[in-house]
Each structure stands twice: as C-alpha cells, then as structure tokens.
Structure 1
Amino acid sequence: MQPATDELPRFACPDWWDKLRAGQTPMPEVPLNREKAAKALAFFNRLRLPDVPGTPTLAEACGDWFRDILCAFLASEDPETRQRLVWELLCMVPKKNSKTTYVAALGLTALYLEEAPNRQMLIVAPSQNISERCFDQAQGMIRLDDRLNKIFKVQDHLKCISRRKTGTELNVKTFDTSIVTGEIPILTIIDELHELGKKPKAAAVMQQIRGGGITKQRGQVLMITTQSDEAPTGIWETELKKARAIRVGKGGAAPIMLPVLYEFPVEQQLDAAYWRDARHWKSILPNLDRSIDSQALIDDYENNGKVNKEAEQIWASQHLNIEIGVGLGGDGWSGAPHWMSCVDSSLKGLDELLARSEVCTIGIDWGGADDLAALYVIGREKKTKRWLGWGKAWARRTVFEQRKGIASRLRQFEQDGDLIIAANGEEQAMSAAAICRRVADSGLLPEQAGIGLDSAGVALLLDALEDEELTQPLVQSVAQGWKLQTAVSSVPLKLEDRRFLHGDQAIMAWCVGNAKQTLRGSNYVVTKEVSGATKIDMLMALFNAAMLMFQNPEASLGNDLGDYLASKPEMFA
C-alpha cells in the first residue's frame, strides 16, 4: 500500500480504484504499533477453519486483504501520541468472501489481546442464523486447538466465549433493541450492517453502542457487510455515505472511521456491459479462488443471475456490490442513470433555488390516506438557463400502518426534513399551499400555468390554494399518462447534459430509482400503475412542473428580479 500524503485528510484514499485493480486493499497506509500487529497476526494466523476439509490455518487460507484490516483495526497507533487512530472500520465486501468466518477469528484475536479484566465484547448479527454461524465458527476454531481450550471458556447455550485469565467476554448476539445492557462494550463487530438498515430502531442501538466512544475507556466498532439487496436505507445508508465521504477526503480532517469498500466506481456500476464482464470481477472479490470458485461464480450468474431483470439486480448487489436504486433500474426511467451525476451540493433548499432563479414552476402530485403527496419546484437559473430542482413530500400517519414495508425509509426521509407527517388531509393541503404562496410571493411564478397538478383527488388542495389566493389561470391541470411524454423523455436529456441540477434529496433519489418506464404505442410512459407498489410521487410532481417549464414561461415580475429580491430579505429568513 502507498503511504498517505500529508496533504490528505486522515484515511482518505483517492486512489482506491487503482488499488483494487492492482489487487491491493482499498485503504491508505495506517500507522501501526508493530509489536501489537505482529502479536495479532501470529494468533490470527494459527486459527484453523473448522468447516473446510483439512481444517487449514488462516495463514494458509486467508488473503492478505483481511490481514490488512485486522492490523489496522487492532493495532493502529499515532506515532507521536501513541494513541489509537482507527476506532471504527466499515468493510463492504461481496458475498462468499468468508467475512463471517474472518470476523469470528478477529473477535477471538481481539479477546486474546485484551488485557483489561471483566470487559464486554460483542459480535452482533441481524438474524439468528447468522449469529449461530458466527458463534459456531469461533467455537470450532477453539476446539481444534488444545492450547486455545486452555485460554478460552466456551458457553454454548449463552453464545459466550470468555478469556479465562481476564474474565473478559465475547458475546455473539442476534440484533435486538436490548442487546446492549449495562457496560458499554469495548469492541463491537456488526455483521451484515445492511440488514440493520431495514430495522427502524437500529440507529438508536448504534448510538448506544457508540456511547463508549466518548468515555475514557472508549470502544471500537467494526462493521462488515455486503451491499443491500434493495436501495440502501436507514443506518446502512448513513454509514455508507459517511465512509464514501471519508474515502475521498470529505469526511473532516481527522475521522475515526477507516473505510474499506470493495465496489466499482459509480461510472462502472452504471455501465452494465462493464460489470457483466467476468474479467472485471476479480477487482472487488478479494477471496476469488480462495473461498470463491471463479468458474462456479460465472456458472451461477449465467444460470441463476440472468433469469430476469430482478434476479440480476439482486445477484449483482450481493456478488458484485452493485448498488440497487439509481442506475440499476433495468426497465427503470431513462433519467435514473444520470440523476446522481447532477447533484449540486450548494443547492440546499428552496431559498437557494429562488435566489438563483429567474422563473419557477411548481408541480404537485396528490395522494390519498395511504399514499404520499408531493410538490416539486423547478427554477430556471439566471444566465445559465439550467434547471434547478427541489421538492417536499407529505404522508399521513395511516401510511405507516398500511405501507409497513417502507415505514423505516419514510422515517428517515422525515429526519432529513424532506417528508412532513400530517395529521390529516387539511393540514397536508395547507402546508403545500403555503409553499406555493411562498414561491408566488417571490414574483418568480408566471401569471399563467405556474402551478400544475394531476386533477385526481385534489379538492382539499384546491381549497387550500384558493385560501392563499392561488387560482386559475395560475393553477392548471396537467394531463397525465402518455401526455407526459415530453417530460418523461426530455428531462433525461437535460440530466445527461447536466442542464438539470438538484440538491441530492434522498427521497427524490428513491422515487427516481423506483420509477419504471414502459413503451405504449410510440410513447414512453412512467405511471404509478407501471411502477407498482413503489413510490414515485415526487418524480410525478417533477414531471408536472417540467411540463409547465417546457412552455418557456416568464416570471410575473419580469426578468429583472434582482432588486426586488434584494428588497425582500424576510423571504429568505
């Protein structure tokens, strides 16, 4: 591994893709306590694999990639302060790379190295099957070596392994909101973190586990996982975004998490021809031809992974860490592959959009008691004429009861500030109308056709808009179905040329990734019926706003809005 330069923030690794293609671990050089690293390696290497013929040692069977992780996690040390550097580590590696076996061995190694008495260590798995396999691997390693039987005490019924000398315990547990009780663990290993992203209270448990990180004792957290078999959400989405930011040097000057991510760059993930080519798989499969038989993997893809689009998406997410969602739509909306390349990080919200725009249009897609409602604002930027986008969505409490499969995801959007939970339809309509009034007060709406909506089920919304003195001809119905063809087909062209920028709202990326596109006659159609049970409400609102913006509107106050906006600072308070 190449040493990190002084100019880079801690743990940044801008050449991670070069390292992967060269067969190296995708992480920067981490300063180590050499004596501790050597001790950890000596113990780890002598452990034997209990479920492999011949029970080979890890010295024979394990790749150097995991030894790099082991040393960085257990033996990192600042050469000046002599303090630990790596307090957290996130490793994302595809399926069948022996990660559960390796973390069991790492847990035993950590237990052996720890000299503090009566401490607690945890290995947390999302299901009973995974936790049992992890424990079975650890106890199997112990029972293959008489010396280890003298060092460790195994309690099968409790899934607990303790070091006899110190009394410190390594407990293997299935995830539950009560897994952390009493003393904060000094080390926690979380297997298959992506599965915890589907559990609504996982973030609270993670915060409790990390509580030890601010005490004098402190605690380490190692997270190892495959990519999710659906779009990342919850704690998994949060940790993955954090790790990627650290990897490119945007995670602060001194992060405590070391990212080790086995994945293709976004460009390659969006290029299906690239990742379908088995010649490229070796870059992100560190255990290829160890625990993974290369020909068997190809055969599995040809016979099972390519059965249909859905099967291929799931197969690619698990075996190649291809992220499902934006860019992996199969029959998805043609704008999806370009969505994430059009992020403008400075476009933080509606205020910024209004300040940069010369004219705006608003699209609205309304929903019933078990659905979402959505509003999307498109602004045409001064001088550049690029489109700028921002949206807001609403849900009633009944949605969480009737759409339990997406409840945790919706809660995350609520925390992001992009989804409002309304008590009833009237409150929902009033909130949306207030945003429309705010844009109208800026003078950026045209006099006619500035607010476009699907006419179905909008009685309460029309009443709320009328209360805000927003009526026809400003408010107009937008024809749906094939008549949205212009927006469905032309917005992707703007995205491809980066003539449409947005502020990276997770809820919008989710809707874009959910959308399915089909050909009806000579027209491409995106509808809720085509997309099934998944939510695309904000994208439909975007289409409605786009249909109005395609009419090349002029703001009601004309083009010279600078002086007006400068005289209205209260609008942006």
Structure 2
Amino acid sequence: MADVPLNAERAAKAVAFFNRLRLPDVPGTPTMAEACGEWFREILCAFLASEDPDTKQRLVWELLCMVPKKNSKTTYVAALGLTALYMEEAPNRQMLIVAPSQNISERCFDQAQGMIRLDERLKAIFNVQDHLKCITRRKTGTQLDVKSFDTSIVTGEIPILTIIDEVHELGKKAKAAAVMQQIRGGGITMQGGQVLMITTQSDEAPAGIWKTELLKARKIRDGQGGSAPIMLPVLYEFPQELQKRQDFWRDQRNWSMLLPNINRSIDAARLIADYENNGRATPQAEQIWASQHLNIEIGVGIGDDGWGGAEYWDLRADPTLTLDELLARSEVAVVGADGGGLDDLFGICVIGREKVTRRWLIWCHAYAHPKVLDRRKEIAAQLRDFEAEGSLTFCAVSEYIAAIAATAGRIRDMGLLPEKKAFGFDPNNIAALVDALALVGIEGDMLHRLRQGPALSPALWGLEHKLSDDTISHDGSGLMSWSVGNVKIEVKLNGNMATKEAAGRAKIDPFVAMLCAAILMSWNPEAMGMADLGDYLSELKAMAS
C-alpha cells in the first residue's frame, strides 16, 4: 500500500472512534483496538483522512482492497461505515453499504447494529431502523443505508460515500457498470463522493465491472495510472508470474504474505487442514479454494484435467497480430469454424504459416446472436467484455454467416488458401455456411468436414508441442484466453477429447475452430497462388455455365 499523507487530527479521531467499537459475534465482544489488525486501520486512515499537505484537499477518493476470504472484511467495513457516519458533519447526506446479495447485506447490517447496541453512548449517537436497514446519526440526519445490489439502489440519489462489499460478484451482473457510474456521479459534485470497494478474488475468470476495476487498480499500483490517480489500490495477491507457478502458491510457507488477519480471524492450522481435506479434493475444488483463500486469479486454467497447452498460451500472445498482419506475413492460410445454436458462439480461426520462419500465426474471432445474452445471463458480462475488445460480434445468424464467408473469400482472393482442404468445420448444422461459402467460390475440394471429439486429438497434441516450443504466435485476445481456460480434457480409448466443464457457462467454440484449422495446417498445405487462383475461378465459371 502506498504511503498517503494524512490529516493527523482527522486520522486520530477516526482511529479513536473505530477502536472503541466492539465485535458483536465474538466471545467477550473485544474492541477493535484488541481484535483488528493494523492493516485495516491503515486503510481506514487513508480513506477517511487523506490530505494533500499543500492544497489541504482529499487525495483518496476511491479505494480498492482485494483481500482473501475470512479476513473479517465484512465486519471491518461495517465498522468503517459507522466511523465515516460519525465523522461526517454535513447534514442530511446519504451513505451506502452495498452488498451483492441479501445474505451479505444483512450480515453487514447486523454487525453494524450489533456494535451500536453494545455501547450506550453509541445508542445516543445513532438511531437504528431494523426494517429499513438504515442507521442515522441523530445530530446531522445523515443516513447509512445497507442495501442489496440492484440497478435501482441509487436512482435519484448522490451518496457522499459508498462501500461495496464483494465487488467481484458485480462482475456477473450485466448492468453493474451503469450503476457504478451512477454511484461515481457523486464524486464530481462540489460535495464530493467516495467509493470503497472490498472483495476477494472471483471464483471465475474476472469479468465485467470487476475486471475493469481490478485492471485499473493494478495499473495504478504499478505506476501506470496517470499523474494523479484518485484510487488507492490495496491488493493482497502474488505477482502474476508467481500465480502461474503452482509449486509456489501451493507452498504453505508463502500463504501468510496474503493473509493480513492471520492468527486473528484466521487460524493457520485450520486453514491448512481445510486445504488438505477440502481444497485438494478435485482440480475444480482447488481452483475455487485458491481463488478465495489466496486470491489466485482464475483465467487460463489450472488443474490436471485442463489442456496442456494452456500453461503456455499467454506466453505466446502478440496483441499486434491482427488478421491483416497475419495475412501480410503468411505464405499460406487455412480457416476453421465451429458453432452451435442461438445460445452458443460461432467461432472462426485463421492460421497462417509465416514466410521463411514457418511459424504458425493464429487469429480468432467469435460471433453470437444477441439472444445468448438472455439465455446465458451468467456469462453475459464476459461476452460484453469480448465485444468491447473487438474479438466478439453480436449479430443475426445470416449476418455472421455472411461475414465468415467474406473473410474466407478475402483470403482466397489473396491467393493464400490451398486448392484443397482450405476450410475445415464440424459437419453438423453447417448447411447455411456451406451455401454462403459457395457464393464466394469456396466449395468442393476446398471444404473439409472434420470429425469431432477424439478425432481432433492430433490438433490438441500438436498445438501443445508448438506452444511449448515457441513456434506459435496468437492475437492475445481475452476471448481466447477464456475459451482456452474453459477446456477440459477427457481421455478416451481412441484419443483425447476437448470438452467443457459446464454447459452454458463455459464456451469453447472458438477453441474448437482453432483445432479444425490446426488439423488442416498440420497437413503442410501449399497456397493456391494468384495464377492458380485465376485458373480455379475459370474452372468454376465453366462448370457453372
């Protein structure tokens, strides 16, 4: 956590009030002075008492704290909310504590009201309204409301302070970004408005507003957040390169670095026992346990049933590798496609073989009917992220079929497609695409229907080897990192099969499209060339007449 200049008098007042609050659900009801770790008092002071020594203006308008589970964050933010309510002298303002679910909001409110009821002096300062989940400071009329997240929570309101508990859960809500913008609207008024977000890491790949906030916080932490960032990041996480080293984060000697409340709310021996008995039960259980207790980010998957190439996927990313760049650098290119119904993605992959080096260059894109956002609400925020990065397009089926055919036709017109086996695809539900390809002159031997399942095993193994040997570059899209991370491998008698863990939630269509293209490229094709293309087109015209 960066050092933040403080107004010493205001910081002392905040700490004095905070320290006297008692934990209502712990035997003996100890005070915060006894029970709370110093780490949270530093957050308290930075958030409530930051001050530029020259201008005397507040420095920290937003704070994002990502801390593993069971570090008492919900209890502590309830106490911080009461402290902020006590410190605010302006009349009739509104403060919010927002939780993603009713259970979390009720627990937060119960902790706050429990602290008040343990202290007669606090009862005189605050009025508690159980049925409204509202606490009012009697002197000023300013209210602290504890609410469940909903798109209507801030309609017509300009909260002077908002605390968001478990912000990672908001990444799963499609309209969270709009609500966050409303909340932040208070920050540009003359009265100002603060936002504190406290959360564990997500138990799925970060998405939506959570992904946005996490990436922004990391940039600020790493000195890339501009000249005057208003957010203070406090991120209890291992560096990305260490998160990818399973031997490192599985080493229990390293865990205490991430657990500021160790030996307070967390018993180290019980944490280890929970990991050994529950966290290691299955690869999926370990993923979730590590994300919650060690803030290990789920992205490109870990686990024994994941695809072997996933370990190297991010290392081979080249964000400059657009489709245009791929075609300019390639001596030959092939296309793979895979898709399903209206609740699926339709993936297309172009693999080019680079001139001279023969390195494989991979570009992928996905299309989807807008109905997928309604039918698969659990991944809607992630799909919107991919749309924003340009790797996913929402449109009608007829439009994306035409777009895929146009892409293939463009590659053919450049003379880069082979004369045979240039476009590979799953033969099921593909009639419309075959018709569209015929309209641009791609038909007959140029098309190749590829059996699915274990028949694609050579592509799985071949891509693994090329990724590990560093003879592949790909476009580095979030879409493909997500798709690669969704892949699970089932071992069959006649080969390995790429599948997914959960229907609907996990999509691998762009990945399967890549396997189809990889099969074609593994046959060492040669480009038709512009001269051969002319002969081929003449042949087609003759046949048509």
Offset of residue 515 of structure 1: 0.6
Equivalent in the alignment of 2:410:
438
Alignment-mate amino acid for residue 109 of structure 2: F
Q: Secondary structure at the match of 2:441?
A: coil
Alignment-mate amino acid for residue 405 of structure 2: A
Equivalent in the alignment of 1:107:
81
- CA separation of 1:87/1:345 partners in 2, compared to 1, >3 Å: closer, same or farther? farther
Percentage of pairs with the same residue: 65
Q: For the aligned residues, what is the CA RMSD?
A: 2.3
Offset of residue 30 of structure 1: 2.2
Paired residues in the alignment total 529
Equivalent in the alignment of 1:278:
252
Offset of residue 157 of structure 1: 1.6
Equivalent in the alignment of 1:482:
454
Is residue 319 of structure 2 the alignment partner of residue 345 of structure 1? yes
Of 177-186 and 513-522, the range deviating more from structure 2: 513-522
- Structure 1 portions without partners, runs of 5+: 1-26, 559-573
Aligned residue among 490, 497, 500 for 2:472: 500
- CA separation of 1:78/1:378 partners in 2, compared to 1, >3 Å: closer, same or farther? farther
State the distance in 1 between where 2:521 and 2:261 align.
52
Q: Secondary structure at the match of 1:473?
A: helix
- CA separation of 1:75/1:442 partners in 2, compared to 1, >3 Å: closer, same or farther? farther
Q: Deviations over 1:160-187 (max 9, x none)?
A: 1122222211111011110003231111
- CA separation of 1:477/1:168 partners in 2, compared to 1, >3 Å: closer, same or farther? same
Equivalent in the alignment of 2:542:
none
Equivalent in the alignment of 2:432:
460
Equivalent in the alignment of 2:271:
297
Q: Residue 515 of structure 1 contacts residue 531 of structure 1 at CA under 8 Å; is this kept in 2?
A: no
Aligned residue among 148, 163, 169 for 1:174: 148
Alignment-mate amino acid for residue 92 of structure 2: N
State the distance in 2 between where 1:495 and 1:28 align.
38
Q: Deviations over 1:356-384 (max 9, x none)?
A: 44443221113233422110122334555
Is residue 36 of structure 2 the alignment partner of residue 68 of structure 1? no
Q: Secondary structure at the match of 1:526?
A: strand
Q: Residue 65 of structure 2 contacts residue 235 of structure 2 at CA under 8 Å; is this kept in 1?
A: yes
Q: Deviations over 1:3-26 (max 9, x none)?
A: xxxxxxxxxxxxxxxxxxxxxxxx
Equivalent in the alignment of 1:15:
none
Aligned residue among 200, 208, 212 for 2:186: 212
Equivalent in the alignment of 2:539:
none
TM-score by length of 2: 0.90
Aligned residue among 195, 205, 225 for 2:199: 225
Q: Secondary structure at the match of 2:172?
A: coil
Q: Deviations over 1:438-485 (max 9, x none)?
A: 333444434443322222221100111111222243333334333322
Aligned residue among 334, 348, 366 for 1:375: 348
Alignment-mate amino acid for residue 434 of structure 1: A
Equivalent in the alignment of 1:132:
106
Aligned residue among 96, 99, 120 for 2:94: 120
State the distance in 1 between where 2:66 and 2:483 align.
25
1:287-326 aligned within 5 A: 287-326=261-300
Q: Deviations over 1:293-352 (max 9, x none)?
A: 1111122222222222222222222112222331324411111222223332334x3234
- CA separation of 1:479/1:522 partners in 2, compared to 1, >3 Å: closer, same or farther? closer
Offset of residue 245 of structure 1: 2.5
Is residue 170 of structure 2 the alignment partner of residue 196 of structure 1? yes
Q: Secondary structure at the match of 1:117?
A: coil
Of 232-241 and 456-465, the range deviating more from structure 2: 232-241
Aligned residue among 352, 366, 371 for 2:339: 366
Alignment-mate amino acid for residue 420 of structure 1: T
Offset of residue 116 of structure 1: 1.9
- CA separation of 1:250/1:387 partners in 2, compared to 1, >3 Å: closer, same or farther? farther
State the distance in 2 between where 1:245 and 1:496 align.
29
Of 468-477 and 105-114, the range deviating more from structure 2: 468-477
Q: Deviations over 1:247-276 (max 9, x none)?
A: 223333332222211122233333333322
State the distance in 1 between where 2:379 and 2:72 align.
31
State the distance in 2 between where 1:383 and 1:72 align.
57
Equivalent in the alignment of 2:238:
264
Q: Residue 127 of structure 1 contacts residue 174 of structure 1 at CA under 8 Å; is this kept in 2?
A: yes
Q: Secondary structure at the match of 2:367?
A: strand
Alignment-mate amino acid for residue 354 of structure 1: L
Is residue 372 of structure 2 the alignment partner of residue 426 of structure 1? no
State the distance in 2 between where 1:355 and 1:253 align.
38
Offset of residue 75 of structure 1: 2.0
Q: Secondary structure at the match of 2:514?
A: helix
- CA separation of 1:531/1:376 partners in 2, compared to 1, >3 Å: closer, same or farther? farther
Is residue 515 of structure 2 the alignment partner of residue 540 of structure 1? no
Equivalent in the alignment of 1:14:
none
Of 398-407 and 170-179, the range deviating more from structure 2: 398-407
Q: Residue 270 of structure 1 contacts residue 327 of structure 1 at CA under 8 Å; is this kept in 2?
A: no
Equivalent in the alignment of 1:566:
none
Offset of residue 557 of structure 1: 4.3
Q: Secondary structure at the match of 2:315?
A: helix
State the distance in 2 between where 1:382 and 1:210 align.
51
Q: Deviations over 1:44-92 (max 9, x none)?
A: 2222111111221212111121122112222222333332222211111
- Structure 2 portions without partners, runs of 5+: 531-545
Q: Which runs of 4+ in 1 moved over 6 A?
A: none
Q: Residue 329 of structure 1 contacts residue 336 of structure 1 at CA under 8 Å; is this kept in 2?
A: no
Equivalent in the alignment of 2:138:
164
Offset of residue 531 of structure 1: 6.9
Equivalent in the alignment of 1:391:
364
Offset of residue 388 of structure 1: 3.0
